[in-house]
Structure 1
């Protein structure tokens, strides 16, 4: 693998970390770049390699947000643990059964999410408590199990689904939802990383330079999101959902 290839992939990884730190969805940039640039490698190896930079980027985003945004500490820890286990289970399940049915299902959900967010102008703009502490606990832990499994089994759009869940089910605004989503996503990425490491499906010479690039992008993306606030994140969220819809639709129709 020559240096120009590493540099190109690190550039995509930087952009993925930047976008992912703001609203999630960095995998929509990083994973296709890997698949198109290195078609000679097995797909599981390429997917596994992307997990290390994704994990580092998620951790950096989580760190930046946690310094400036209050976190629901008593519930987020168990949610991360549940998401970790669910993500590992999802990765294992992927090795047993096909996941081809997930793309049309995810596409349908994303279209509904896009229309709802676009038409409801105040969605995620102001934090408001809509549930009791017990309901918050139940919903966060259930969300950790469901989206954690999804991330291990399929993956694309995980960050966006987490943000959506924290806004719609818990009552957070975009900024607070992004902060909590990064923590949970870091946990699911760690589980996937450990799974692929145990399977020996990592290109370490590429994974670590990409991790540095992703981490740098995540640092800048999180700082920008915190500086600009909810309106900026909402625009990013809509743009990312639209891009995800186009990508899934293209894959299904071609």
Structure 2
């Protein structure tokens, strides 16, 4: 790893492990990994590109872990995944057209809403509930919107997918978590394909962080499957609130 000093590289690897663990359960790993990359001296575009590289490995690992346990069937979700990848790439392509400052003001409000929903909504468990929209409608409305946001900006993507699956698709919390990971993985792939030609990637650092992401995501997914909603709900509330506070602080500073 030639881009950063050894002590900073170790910090990034530790940050990636923690991000993978958090992200595999409730989303919000970028809250840890992106600031760590910026602290190590990466420019904003380098931080976003390298974060997508390492985050893709973590999301992929979580997807495989949930799939092997039977909580998600990748082939059945392939249509949504393709849509997520395409719109993740489109979001990355148009990132320079929309002022990021606008999203920095709006997103904290949305994230606080996500946290409040999961904290205060009674009856949220691993049990399924009534479906509010058909899968095709969900795939053509919710998935493109969130995936494009992921390609453009990123923080909170997993939380938004989670709320969509719970509130609209009628999934239990654990099933929603498992299905979120595959769509998040797909949107990461799409945006990563846009970032690679930019030349902004810290390849050595990103791949080292990816190895730590794999370890953290595997551990986090296994814990989520063992404990279920009792772990996912409070962690989702915490990460959504933390992301909201950080984004507010960035917007106002």
**TM bucket normalised to smaller:** over 0.9
How many residue pairs match? The answer is 250
1:82-97 matches, within 5 Å, as 82-97=83-98
**Partner residue in 2 for 1:115:** 116
5+ residue gaps, structure 2:
none
1:79-228 matches, within 5 Å, as 79-131=80-132, 135-228=134-227
Cα deviation per residue 1:62-111 (whole Å; 9 max; x = unaligned)? 00011224436675211111111111111110123322111221112222
Shift of 1:130: 2.1
**Partner residue in 2 for 1:243:** 242
CA distance in 2, matches of 1:249, 1:100: 11
Give the root-mean-square deviation of aligned CA atoms: 1.6
Shift of 1:175: 0.6
Shift of 1:203: 1.0
5+ residue gaps, structure 1:
none
CA distance in 1, matches of 2:126, 2:162: 13
Tell me the secondary structure at the aligned position of residue 122 of structure 1. Answer: coil
2:13 to 6, 10, 14: 10
Cα deviation per residue 1:133-154 (whole Å; 9 max; x = unaligned)? xx12211332211101000111
2:22 to 19, 30, 40: 19
Tell me the secondary structure at the aligned position of residue 168 of structure 2. Answer: helix
For residues 122 and 95 of structure 1, do their structure 2 counterparts lie closer, same or farther at Cα, with a shift above 3 Å needed? same
CA distance in 2, matches of 1:75, 1:68: 15
Tell me the secondary structure at the aligned position of residue 77 of structure 2. Answer: helix
CA distance in 1, matches of 2:233, 2:245: 18
CA distance in 1, matches of 2:118, 2:63: 24
> Is the Cα–Cα contact under 8 Å of residues 88 and 191 in structure 1 kept in the other structure?
yes
CA distance in 2, matches of 1:211, 1:124: 31
Shift of 1:125: 4.1
CA distance in 1, matches of 2:57, 2:75: 24
Scaled by the length of structure 1, the TM-score of the pair is 0.93
CA distance in 1, matches of 2:47, 2:241: 25
For residues 55 and 75 of structure 1, do their structure 2 counterparts lie closer, same or farther at Cα, with a shift above 3 Å needed? same
Residue 233 of structure 2 is aligned to residue 230 of structure 1 = no
- Structure 1, 121-130 or 78-87: larger mean CA deviation: 121-130
